[in-house]
Amino acid sequence: MALADYPALKSITKYYQAHPKEVNAHSKKVTPDLSSLRYLIVDTNTVRPELNQDIADKLLRPLGNTDNPLEVVCPVLSLPEHGGKILSMRDNLGPAYTEEFVETEEIMTEDGRQISRPAIKTQSVLAPGSSRDVFACLFDAQALKLNKVMVVAAGAAAQKEKLANEADKVCVESFGFCMPKASVAIVDPDTATFCPADTVGEIWVNSPTIDGGFWALPKHTESIFHARPLIVPSESSYPEVYGESFLRTGLCGTIIGGRLFVLGSYEERIRQQRLGADFGLEDIYYSSELLNTVTKRARIEQW
């Protein structure tokens, strides 16, 4: 097992590509061999699929890790500003069961009559694939500008189609399933209401391993560590405070098939008035994705 970050891995990979003989002959007694490496843990807030592929093909594979080097590269989503909580990573825990909210109808008796009312229940669903799998999705770029999630391809199909490098699609790789006993909600950061399944929002998390708050900052602790989202019941259409409190991570993303996808931090969002549209209609961009786009089209070296 090894721990690193993207800047260090980029530098190491570039150096090895430029000086392979020097690295291999660094010591006459010890030959560089990464065949036994099973986890290369990368501490990051956003997964970079193309860089992961470069690290696997240009560093791990030449140094002996030939079985499945891409699976060895394991990004980890942690919250260093909130007690160091690890929120999500690929692991060996096996298939994962997720709890999903399902809107159903329940029969009630009122004044001697049976009436049906909408009700929300939870059900346990087996998520597809293993918790160690590298899982990516291709999102429609135009939908992301509108803060919507439209999945063009997922899983193995996304891994194949991302090689086409089309401008109207964005490849986003998942960190994996969330840690056990953690409740994760996708919430609109501006209104504090739960987001629909097809909408990007801020990631809020509740877990017994989260610290109590900031030292001597009660107002900040209450608003960030004990935030309460709003839920709008279908029968009343009036917002109500949800009973469970969450930690606001400041990261924007979505959940697909129980896996967590992060697009960037809330502070890195760029909101632009849409050209020719009514005031208030905005396109949303993330600085990390803009940087990748400029790098590709201007043919700037990514190292």
**Model confidence pLDDT, tens digit, residues 63-120:** 999 999 999 999 999 988 887 888 999 987 766 777 666 667 777 777 777 777 766 6
Quick one: 130-297 is in which CATH superfamily?
ANL, N-terminal domain (3.40.50.12780)
Domain ranges in the chain?
2-87, 96-129, 130-297
- Do 154 and 256 contact (CB within 8 A), yes or no? yes
46-60, 203-217, 239-253: lowest mean pLDDT where? Answer: 203-217
Q: What is the mean pLDDT of residues 170-187?
A: 90
Q: What is the pLDDT of residue 125?
A: 77
Proportion of the chain above pLDDT 70, given as a percent = 88
pLDDT bucket at 6, cuts 50 / 70 / 90? very high
130: left (phi over 0), alpha (psi -120 to 50) or beta: beta
Q: Residue 265: which of 275, 250, 254 has the closest Cα?
A: 250
> Where in 68-129 does DSSP place strands (E)?
73-79, 85-89, 97-110, 113-126
Q: What is the pLDDT of residue 297?
A: 56
Q: What is the mean pLDDT of residues 126-134?
A: 81
Mean confidence (pLDDT) of the chain: 84
What's 53's DSSP letter?
Answer: H
Contacts of 67 (CB under 8 A, 6+ apart): none
Instruction: Give the Å distances, CA to CA, from 59 to 11, 90, 99, 192.
Output: 11, 20, 39, 44
Q: What is the mean pLDDT of residues 46-70?
A: 93
Place of tokens 């990979």: 13
- Judge whether residue 300 has pLDDT over 60: no
Q: Residue 87: which of 133, 24, 44, 39 has the closest Cα?
A: 44
Q: What is the pLDDT of residue 212?
A: 75
Q: What is the pLDDT of residue 187?
A: 95
Token pair of 250, please? 């400041």
Q: What is the mean pLDDT of residues 49-53?
A: 91
Q: How far apart are CA 287 and CA 264, in angstroms?
A: 8
Contacts of 176 (CB under 8 A, 6+ apart): 88, 89, 90, 91, 131, 135, 259, 260
For the stretch 281-290, contacts whose Cβ atoms lie closer than 8 Å and that sit 24 or more positions apart, written own/partner, are: 283/145, 283/146, 284/144, 284/145, 284/146, 284/147, 284/200, 285/145, 286/252, 288/46, 288/263, 288/264, 289/170, 289/263, 289/264
Q: Residue 52: which of 32, 72, 79 has the closest Cα?
A: 72
Q: What is the pLDDT of residue 294?
A: 58
